[in-house]
Amino acid sequence: MASFPTYGPEEIDALNGVADAVLGVFKHHGYTRHEPAVLQPAHLFVDRSGEEIRRRTYELSDPTGQELCLRPDLTIPTCKFQVDSGASFPARLCYHGLAFRHQPGAGQFWQAGAELLGLADRAAGDAEMMGLAAEAVRAGGVKDFSMLIGDLGLFNTLVDALEVPAQWRGRLKRHVWRTGYFEKLLARMVSGETNDTERTVDALAGLKLMELKPVIEALIDQEGDAPLGGRTREEIVERLMVQACDDSAPRLDPEVADLITKFLKVSGNGEAALEEIRVLTKPVAAKMVKPLAAMAERLHALKNMDIPLDRVRYVAHFGRNLEYYTGFVFEFWTRAGEVAGGGRYDTLLESLGAPRGTTAIGCAIRTERLLAARGEA
């Protein structure tokens, strides 16, 4: 059972003090304050973050039966406000308020966050957001912190560059952050025991490319008037064509699996870790140039913010498991734990109705943790 604390006069004054300092930084950099509603339509979160977030979300229904929830984060409602308002991009928005999650300890926590939406230059956006978060943490009274950064975009590029059966690429990318599960998945791919749709694909074995489509369509027709369950015939045909064109009994090359495993184990001081990845991915170096350059640029930006690089740890498998994050992520840590975090979610705005390719990066500062961290120092 999570707890819901009442804040006493001193606590709330101290908290407001930290929040004002953080919001002052946001305002100074042109971020305008918004206050999303505490109660939000539940589907807004479930459709974007998946069922997992629902386990930790407080849901309720209003007297008309509409499903609502206490906002589990303020990012999605803030982004939705921007899209619905029809205002132009790029946009800079910020907030400070309570978020609610069913979790051990307190079921509510204060977050001050900033969102930089629709800035086409991603490198500039990355640098601005990390700088903003660092300045906000410092303004909140915490000068001594370390950083954790990661970019699953690097991993995704690697998977696309390596010899991996086409139908498995998505699986590797989706499950990379599930420790335990991912290792087993990789082992199953090497041994070929992946429990795929063997029967249907077997039926297609030996057919020429041009014969495939009619045979697959005939197989679907055999199911008579069974519902399509929201998918189209084309989707089903397409997926089977990909599988049939690939090896009929695909296996992952053990050397490729080994490279993936080694890549995900890379962890350490930013520049050294980057060099390690460069060496490791030499066989596909051409494809890795762009994402590696982006990461090097981020490290350079951090140096310019007076963040010593020996306090910046790059972890290859670090991705935030809130599912709208798309690649680059960062966290600020103190002895009192994580005080701030953020990252890129470049598909969220499109899902809310913005034009395709509208970028987004943001950060959230845990103001209560900043207070606690100040106490520790």
Partner 1 sequence: MITLAVPSKGRLKEQFDAFLGKSGIALKQTAGARGYRATVEGHPGIDVMLLSSSEIAAALAGGDVHLGVTGEDLIREAVPELEGRVNLLKGLGFGFADVVVAVPKSWIDVSTLADLDDICAAYAVRYKKRLRIATKYKQLTRSFFAHAGISDYRIVPSAGATEGAPTAGTAEAIVDITTTGSTLKANGLKILDDGVILKSQAQLAMSLGAEWNDEQRAIAAAFLKPLGVEI
Q: How far is the CB of 54 from partner 1 (least distance, A)?
A: 8
Give, as ranges, the residues between 37 and 56 that touch partner 1 (CB under 8 A).
43, 46-47, 50-52, 54-55
**Token reading at 130:** 């990390």
Q: How far is the CB of 255 from partner 1 (least distance, A)?
A: 23
Inter-CA distances, 295 with 144, 152, 278, Å:
23, 11, 12
CA 171 to CA 187: how far, in whole Å?
13
CA proximity to 47, closest of 62, 37, 57, 34: 57
Inter-CA distances, 172 with 149, 155, 168, 189, 303, Å:
20, 9, 6, 10, 33
Residues 158-177, one symbol each (x = binds partner 1 by CB under 8 A, - = not), give ---------x--xx--xx--
Q: How far is the CB of 215 from partner 1 (least distance, A)?
A: 11
CA 169 to CA 175: how far, in whole Å?
10
Binding segment (CB under 8 A) for partner 1, from list 30-38, 178-186, 264-272, 308-316: 178-186
Q: Is there binding between residue 62 and partner 1 (CB under 8 A)?
A: no
CA 29 to CA 139: how far, in whole Å?
13
| Start-to-end CA span in the chain (Å) | 31
Q: How far is the CB of 162 from partner 1 (least distance, A)?
A: 19
Residues 179-208, one symbol each (x = binds partner 1 by CB under 8 A, - = not), give --x---x--------xxxx-xx--------
Q: Is there binding between residue 230 and partner 1 (CB under 8 A)?
A: yes
CA 304 to CA 306: how far, in whole Å?
5
Q: Is there binding between residue 3 and partner 1 (CB under 8 A)?
A: no
User: Which residue lies nearer to partner 1 by CB, 8 or 206?
Assistant: 206
Give me the residues that bind partner 1 (CB under 8 A), please. 43, 46-47, 50-52, 54-55, 167, 170-171, 174-175, 178, 181, 185, 194-197, 199-200, 216, 219-220, 223-231, 235-236, 239-240, 243, 323, 350-351
